[in-house]
Amino acid sequence: MKNFHQKKCFITGAASGIGRAVALALAKEGAQLALTDINADALQAVAEEARAQGATLLGTFPADISDYDAVTKMAETLHQEHGAMDMVMNIAGISTWGTIDHLAHHHWRSLVEINLMGPIHVLETFVPPMIAAKKGGYIVNVSSAAGLFGLPWHAAYSATKFGLRGISEVLRFDLREHNIGVSLVCPGAVDTGLVQTLNVVGIDKEHPKAQALAQRFQRHAVTPEHAAQRILQGVRKNKYLVFTSRDIQFGHWFTRKWEWPYTVVMRLMSGMINHTKKEIEQENKA
């Protein structure tokens, strides 16, 4: 897919962050957009901005992608009115971190329902019509660096992102005969709303040491607009793995070529973060 002009693109998580940036980037290229997000007001604002920049709006759908019936209704409406989509982009997601002794069952469940089952709902309702249309197409699944590495405190989050990576790895081969490309996007630090809404279980986010860690993250973060451009470049080049920053690309190479140093680095990172956690807990007890 070298050109996005008049291409029918379905985007989840379109109201903010990477999803919003991708929607507006496609709008400038004259794409036809179908947008969904759980935040109705912000979604409508993005839709108006996209229309002003040249997009044709196929529809806006305030919905929770973890709701299979809601996704099914969206798919049925779009397919009845506009036919199969040319590109389906799974971008919506949430983030919760924490050690296993602090994570409750509902943390695991919400991550699985939104980050993993949400994309599955989209894929199972949108991809079969793409196959039936016999016009090819493209799928973009946004995973994470946590879908590549065993990052500290990311067990629940990584479960969903590794899962989406596995689905994408299979689909890239299964869908090749139908001329449907697949890109797996693995962002590192991106300065989106998730930075503010990130739930770190068992840690006071307002503590100075926790704030210092957040600021360190943001110093290395790329903008959503930069991430969006890297994603669209990856689609144009039919790249399977798409990185939004060089550090994650290097890290992926590093883990494959130098497994022992990777283990050492992950242990050092885990030790550093756990040390910070213990300092905060001790200060709170004092």
Residues catalogued as catalytic: 157
Q: Which residues contact 96 (CB under 8 A, 6 or more apart)?
A: 103, 107, 110, 111, 156, 157, 198, 199, 200, 201
- The SS3 call for residue 13 is coil
243-269 in b/e form (b: 16+ CB < 10 A) is bbbeebbebbeebeeeeeebeeeeeee
- Rounded to whole angstroms, the Cα distance separating 284 from 286 reads 6
Q: Which of 174, 142, 157 is nearest to 248 (CA)?
A: 142
Compute how many other C-beta atoms are within 10 angstroms of the C-beta atom of residue 90. Answer: 28
DSSP state of 151: -
Q: Which residue has the tokens 């451009």?
A: 229
Q: Which of 195, 99, 116, 188 is nearest to 159 (CA)?
A: 116
Strands 199-200 and 241-243: unpaired
